[in-house]
């Protein structure tokens, strides 16, 4: 409706109202024309108002309707429809009054059908009004609004009672019981009026053009009901039926509501700061203050009432009202502070790199920070579309149940969660979140979630954990992991009473690997270890744990082994996998074997004992030779303990000088002349002479053989040098172990000893076992060449047992070979041994190498060797090992022996 049409409508309605109001001045039969017309004009006005409201609601219905309800805003169509139904209810009540008026006068002490229709109009009016001025959200806010409205209604009714109904109550006397029925309308109207008036101040600005006419219409109807109640009690219409005129005006104003309001309605709620937010409190305070002043004044004017009590009560109420106003101001300040903090919070959320969410209890996202897009790649609308639980890994959803306690306990402590969250690219990100309760006045409690992406931190933790429990060379679990896993397995079986004899540990050591590191370098040695790990892994099931124990040692933890023999078979299979094919190192192929120990878990035993037993068994296998498998037995541990104690005792013996030398002469079998002596070490252990067989093995295992060997070499060289200064033409032979030859700076040590003792290099013969040439071939040959370059003589000891290559004899230019005593012992008894010995002697003579036969103990052995052409020999028949003084006595004369 345009402005001109609106003005025409107002003019017409004003004219009708004036005409109808004039009827209250026209007397008809002791009454007025208004009273005579009764409820019919009101029914007509109410019906017209309902039709007007329905027509306006229909016109605002369409696909392009601008009045469609928005969240938190007015619902215009629903408001107009409900107000229309309220108008029709008033119309039905007026019609009912008009019909019953023909039948007889109404009763003051009962409610009629018209009363029921009229009372039903009030809740319909409230529903329609709250569609224009929305009801305050939240249970707390609604409860506060209702209580404030009740206080306001009670105060207003107190004024109405004092000014209007109190005199009537005194006049009615015994008939005052009918007063309660007459007050139904005024009480209901005042309650509804006090309920909806504060909502007018809280309504959206664009809806107030409709809200205010509705408030005006209800105010007029309330006033008319007051006149009607007085008329019912007195039996005479007030002022010639002025109540009918006022009701007619209220209905006309209600019908004009859609035409007085704007066409477009603003949907958004008010968001500014002001006292309008406390409209219910202010309205209640104002009504209560007015009622207090009026009631106090009335009490003071009442005869027989002392003025002290009304003054005290009135002033107390006034002071209380002042205090309430102060609380409202404090509340406004607090609300302003909350609003400011809310703004700071949103500003912080926008600038934070973390993801900040505000969630409803069901996980629906109420607010999300800008950092979400950068952190997880989502658009903001994507995050708002679904509950956050849809993004959490299914295995981690159960962890979020602790959040429910925040709503029940309402504690200040937040909940810390580590969850996996799906990013926009489909990957799972590790996150760390803090969840706390987020409460805002007037809103339901929500959750404040601060989330940080810690995927990089978790990846680093996993890498550190992997490095802590895995070997960097082979990629296998390391010693720490094996120990922990073994301990867990045995502990679990002890708790569950499961048998432990099906748990076994296999230790494996690569024979000869040290030479690979020494010759090819540690880088190529690590490459070989990687190849060995792949071979071993290929022989094992995925359920079997393979670990690198350290150095060239591997360990296998086997669970669920039904029979002990199965573990032994597995160990042998692992050994075959190592020895089956050569390893490719640089441009060479290296063949290795493995010494393997097997141990089984004993009932009540711990992981340390099991691993130690497997290590002991492996050590025993190495002592037996390359490529052996040994199963742990109880006596092995005692042997290992004894060996360790022996090594400790040997180190102390070397420090305290308990070792001494004896010398065994080497004789020219043709002339019986002593040509050299072999230095042999002995140990004086607490007055008991201990031979080398009892302690040299332990000395070599512990590495003590290197300093002990240097001492032997220096002591023997000094003694022989002294003898040679005395014009004794005698040579010296000293045995070397593989550990000595391969030890760092050994060649320099030999050169230093010769220089310091003054012994000529060509006098010294260094003996090595031929096994050294087989096990550590290339490196041993290189070291022996360096010794050869010093000018010393080289001899191969125990020749014939290890099948040394003839190429080594030629390559090293060996000066001497010593026939193993086992061959000498069987001369004349075993034709095969005799033939082999004869071949060795002939080979030596043809190569120009000096041949020395060891272990000559019988005369027939001596004769056989002489017949073969063997030049030199030693043994008990020739001369037993003796101290230096014995050698001096033997050599001091002719330097010969009787053979």
- Does the pLDDT value for residue 764 go beyond 90? yes
State the CB neighbour count (10 A cutoff) for residue 780. 23
Q: For tokens 């926009």, what's the residue?
A: 424
Give residue 839's pLDDT. Answer: 86
Average pLDDT over the chain reads 76
Least confident of 50-64, 187-201, 658-672: 50-64
Q: ∠ at Cα 811 (809, 817), nearest 5°?
A: 20
- Does the pLDDT value for residue 310 go beyond 70? no
> What kind and span of H or E run contains 495?
helix 479-495
Compute the half-sphere exposure of residue 601: CA atoms within 13 Å on the CB side of its CA.
Answer: 27
- Does the pLDDT value for residue 396 go beyond 60? yes
Dump the DSSP string for 463-494: HHHHHHHB-TTT-SB-HHHHHHHHHHHHHHHH
- Does the pLDDT value for residue 227 go beyond 50? yes
Whole-number Å distance between alpha carbons of 523 and 126: 90
Query: What is the percentage of the chain residues whose pLDDT exceeds 70?
Result: 67
Work out the average pLDDT over 476-489: 89
- Helix, strand, coil % in the chain, rounded to nearest 5: 60, 15, 25
Q: How confident is the model at residue 568 (pLDDT cuts 50, 70, 90)?
A: confident
Q: What separation in angstroms does the CA of 220 have from each of 217, 227, 270, 512?
A: 5, 11, 28, 114
Dump pLDDT digits (tens) for 255-297: 777 777 655 444 444 433 444 455 555 555 665 566 565 555 5
- Does the pLDDT value for residue 323 go beyond 50? no
The single-letter DSSP state of residue 397 is G
Q: How confident is the model at residue 345 (pLDDT cuts 50, 70, 90)?
A: low
Pairing of strands 850-853, 673-685: unpaired
Burial class (CB in 10 A: 0-12, 13-18, 19+), 469: middle
Dump pLDDT digits (tens) for 113-156: 667 777 788 888 888 877 777 766 666 666 766 776 776 777 67
Whole-number Å distance between alpha carbons of 518 and 783: 12
Whole-number Å distance between alpha carbons of 558 and 544: 6
3-class DSSP state of 527: helix
3-class DSSP state of 428: strand
Q: Which tokens go with 541?
A: 């099931």
In Å, how far from its chain's centre is CA 447? 21
- Does the pLDDT value for residue 525 go beyond 70? yes
| Residue (of 449, 450, 454, 448) closest to 428 by Cα position | 454
For 737-772, letters b (16+ CB in 10 Å) and e give bbbbbbbeebbebbbebbeebebebebbbbbbbbbb
Dump the DSSP string for 798-851: EETSS---HHHHHHHT--EEEE-HHHHHTTTT-HHHHHHHHHHHHHHHHHT-EE
Dump the DSSP string for 205-256: GGGHHHHHHHHHHHHHHHHHHHHHHHHHHHSS-GGGTHHHHHHHHHHHHHHT
Work out the average pLDDT over 687-706: 85
- Does the pLDDT value for residue 661 go beyond 90? yes
The single-letter DSSP state of residue 162 is I
Q: Which tokens go with 290?
A: 């007015």
Whole-number Å distance between alpha carbons of 775 and 513: 10
The length of the chain is 899
Q: How confident is the model at residue 792 (pLDDT cuts 50, 70, 90)?
A: very high
- Does the pLDDT value for residue 711 go beyond 90? yes
Q: How confident is the model at residue 753 (pLDDT cuts 50, 70, 90)?
A: very high
- Does the pLDDT value for residue 714 go beyond 90? yes
| Residue (of 647, 643, 602, 600) closest to 619 by Cα position | 643
| Residue (of 628, 646, 757, 756) closest to 699 by Cα position | 646
- Does the pLDDT value for residue 232 go beyond 80? no
Give residue 174's pLDDT. Answer: 45
Contacts of residue 828, defined as CB under 8 A and 6 or more positions apart, other chains included, come to 834, 860, 861, 864
pTM: 0.44
Q: Which tokens go with 481?
A: 């992991």
Work out the average pLDDT over 388-398: 79
Give residue 380's pLDDT. Answer: 66
Work out the average pLDDT over 719-728: 88
Q: What separation in angstroms does the CA of 645 have from each of 258, 608, 624, 649, 807?
A: 111, 20, 21, 6, 42
Dump the DSSP string for 309-337: HHHHHHHHHHHHHHHHHHHHHHHHHHHHH
Q: How confident is the model at residue 616 (pLDDT cuts 50, 70, 90)?
A: confident
3-class DSSP state of 743: coil
């Amino acid at each position: 409706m345009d402005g001109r049409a609106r003005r025409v409508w107002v003019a017409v309605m004003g004219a009708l109202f004036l005409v109808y109001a004039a009827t209250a001045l026209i007397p008809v039969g002791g009454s007025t024309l208004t009273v005579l017309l009764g409820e019919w004009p009101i029914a007509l006005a109410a019906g017209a108002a309902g039709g007007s409201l329905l027509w306006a609601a229909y016109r605002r219905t369409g696909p392009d309707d601008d009045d469609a309800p928005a969240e938190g805003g007015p619902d215009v169509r629903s408001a107009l429809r409900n107000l229309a139904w309220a108008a029709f209810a008033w119309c039905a009540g007026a019609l009912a009054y008009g019909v019953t008026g023909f039948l007889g006068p109404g009763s003051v002490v009962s409610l009629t059908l018209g009363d029921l229709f009229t009372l039903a109009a009030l809740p319909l009016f409230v529903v329609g009004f709250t569609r224009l001025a929305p009801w305050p959200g939240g249970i707390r806010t609604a409860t506060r609004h209702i209580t404030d409205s009740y206080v306001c209604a009670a105060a207003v009714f107190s004024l109405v009672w004092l000014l209007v109904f109190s005199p009537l109550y005194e006049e009615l006397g015994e008939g005052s019981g009918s007063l309660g029925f007459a007050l139904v309308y005024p009480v209901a109207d005042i309650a509804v009026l006090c309920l909806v008036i504060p909502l007018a101040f809280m309504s959206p600005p664009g809806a107030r053009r409709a809200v205010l006419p509705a408030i005006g219409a209800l105010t007029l109807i309330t006033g008319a009901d007051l006149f009607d109640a007085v008329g019912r009690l007195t039996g005479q219409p007030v002022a010639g039926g002025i109540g009918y005129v006022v009701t007619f005006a209220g209905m006309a104003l209600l019908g004009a509501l859609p035409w007085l309001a704007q066409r477009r309605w603003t949907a958004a709620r008010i968001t500014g700061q002001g006292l309008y937010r406390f409209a219910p409190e202010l309205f209640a305070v104002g009504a209560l203050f007015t009622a207090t002043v009026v009631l106090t004044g009335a009490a003071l004017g009442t005869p027989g009432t002392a003025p002290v009590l009304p003054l005290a009560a009135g002033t107390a109420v006034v002071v209380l009202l002042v205090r309430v106003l102060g609380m409202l101001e404090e509340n406004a300040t607090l609300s302003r502070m909350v609003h400011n903090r809310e703004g700071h919070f949103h500003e912080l959320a926008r600038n934070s790199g973390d993801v900040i969410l505000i969630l409803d209890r069901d996980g629906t996202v109420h607010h999300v920070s800008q950092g979400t897009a950068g952190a997880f790649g989502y658009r903001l609308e994507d995050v708002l579309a679904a509950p956050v639980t849809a993004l959490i890994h299914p295995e981690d959803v159960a962890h979020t149940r602790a959040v429910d306690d925040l709503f029940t306990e309402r504690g200040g402590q937040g909940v810390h969660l580590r969850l996996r969250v799906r990013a926009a690219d489909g990957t799972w990100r590790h996150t760390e979140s803090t969840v706390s309760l987020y409460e805002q006045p007037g809103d339901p409690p929500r959750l404040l979630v601060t989330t940080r992406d810690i995927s990089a931190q978790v990846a680093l933790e996993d890498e550190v954990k992997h490095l802590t429990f895995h070997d960097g060379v082979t990629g296998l679990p390391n010693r720490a992991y094996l120990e922990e896993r073994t301990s867990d397995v045995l502990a679990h079986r002890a708790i569950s009473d499961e048998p432990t004899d099906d748990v076994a540990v296999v230790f494996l050591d690569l024979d000869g690997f040290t030479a690979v590191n020494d010759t090819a370098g540690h880088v190529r040695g690590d490459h070989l270890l990687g190849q060995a790990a792949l071979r071993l892994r290929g022989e094992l099931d995925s359920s079997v744990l393979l670990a690198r124990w350290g150095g060239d040692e591997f360990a296998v933890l086997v669970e669920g082994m039904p029979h002990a023999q199965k573990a032994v078979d597995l160990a042998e299979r692992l050994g075959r996998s190592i020895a089956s094919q050569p390893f490719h190192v640089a441009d060479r192929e290296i063949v290795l074997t493995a010494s393997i120990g097997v141990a089984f878990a004993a009932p009540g035993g711990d992981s340390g004992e099991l691993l130690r037993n497997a290590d002991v068994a492996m050590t025993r296998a190495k002592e037996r030779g390359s490529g052996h498998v040994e199963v742990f037995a109880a006596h092995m541990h005692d042997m290992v303990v004894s060996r360790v104690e022996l090594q400790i005792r040997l180190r102390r013996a070397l420090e305290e000088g308990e070792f001494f030398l004896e010398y065994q002469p080497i004789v020219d079998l043709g002339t019986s002349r002593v040509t050299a002596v072999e230095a042999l070490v002995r140990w004086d252990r607490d007055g008991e002479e201990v031979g080398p067989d009892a302690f040299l093995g332990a000395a070599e295992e512990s590495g003590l053989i290197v300093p002990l060997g240097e001492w032997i070499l220096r002591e023997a060289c000094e003694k022989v040098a002294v003898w040679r200064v005395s014009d004794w033409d005698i040579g010296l032979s000293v045995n070397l172990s593989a550990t000595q030859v391969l030890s760092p700076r050994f060649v320099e040590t030999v050169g230093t000893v010769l220089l310091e003792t003054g012994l000529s290099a060509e006098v010294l013969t260094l003996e090595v076992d031929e096994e050294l040439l087989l096990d550590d071939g290339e490196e041993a040959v290189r070291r022996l060449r360096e010794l050869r370059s010093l000018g010393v003589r080289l001899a191969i000891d125990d020749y014939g047992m290890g099948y040394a290559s003839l190429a080594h004899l030629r390559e090293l230019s060996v000066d001497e070979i010593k026939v193993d005593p086992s061959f000498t012992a069987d001369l004349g008894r075993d034709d095969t041994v005799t033939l082999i010995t004869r071949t060795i002697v002939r080979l030596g003579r043809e190569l120009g190498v000096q041949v020395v036969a060891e272990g000559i103990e019988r005369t027939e052995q001596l004769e056989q060797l002489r017949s073969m052409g063997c030049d030199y020999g030693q043994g008990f028949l020739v001369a037993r090992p003796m101290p230096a003084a014995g050698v001096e006595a033997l050599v001091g004369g002719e330097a010969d022996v009787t053979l």
